[in-house]
Amino acid sequence: MKEINNGFEVQQLENGKGVQKRLEKKLQRVIESAWPVETDQLIVKITGDGTMMGSRLHITNFGFCVITDKWSSEDMILAITQMPEKYDCIKEAMKDVVHDTLHLKSVTVRGKVFSLKYVICADLKFTNIILGLGACNSDYCCAWCKTKKCDFYDVYKTLDENEEKALACTTEEIETLSKKKSKKYEN
């Protein structure tokens, strides 16, 4: 089994609760298989989601795909973990993914250097968890704005920053909120 795993370059997570592949090698393979790739600027879409197998087994998976102006790769698996979709578990499971996305700014295939930009795409639950926000049914559950749950009916609110009461939340505001126990914006 170990030999087979080595062949596929599968690593076990530190806590033993999952397996993963490293981003750089997977990226190189994806680019290689799509050769020739016309552009040298790639967007890497990172994704993740949790699910249940039966009534007890929690599974949380991470993946990615590569996007250019004209083409998108298939979704590829980065990690499969036997952990619930919760902040502490995702923090642990995504440690290498976070490290790789912070440090890997380009990848070289057949001598051609591709610059990398990262985006995250996930459902609201996963998005709120990785941002450190409250649950999807909490008062301030939107990852983009500071609208309170009870005001969601008002579709005329605007995210426009020039408005007196800008509703869009900044990354700084999200960071502050993520460190607070009560997930509430002050205004």
* Integer Rg of the chain from CA: 19
| Minimum distance of Zn ion from residue 94's CB (angstroms) | 24
Does an H or E element contain 79, and which?
strand 76-81
Q: Which among 18-26, 61-69, 100-108, 137-145 is the span making contact with Zn ion, rule CB under 5 A?
A: 137-145
Residue from 66, 78, 129, 142 that binds Zn ion (CB under 5 A)? 142
Does an H or E element contain 130, and which?
helix 124-131
Q: Which residue, 71 or 144, has its beta carbon nearer to Zn ion?
A: 144
Q: Which residue, 55 or 137, has its beta carbon nearer to Zn ion?
A: 137
The span from the CA of 105 to the CA of 120, in Å, is 16
| Minimum distance of Zn ion from residue 101's CB (angstroms) | 25
**C-alpha torsion 165→171→175→176, nearest 10:** -30
Contact between 174 and Zn ion by CB under 5 A: the answer reads no
Contacts of 112 (CB under 8 A, 6+ apart): 37, 40
Q: Which residue, 93 or 141, has its beta carbon nearer to Zn ion?
A: 141
Contact between 144 and Zn ion by CB under 5 A: the answer reads yes
| Minimum distance of Zn ion from residue 174's CB (angstroms) | 12
Contact between 152 and Zn ion by CB under 5 A: the answer reads no
Q: How many helices (H) and strands (E) does the chain have?
A: 6, 7
What residues make contact with Zn ion under the rule CB under 5 A?
Answer: 142, 144-145
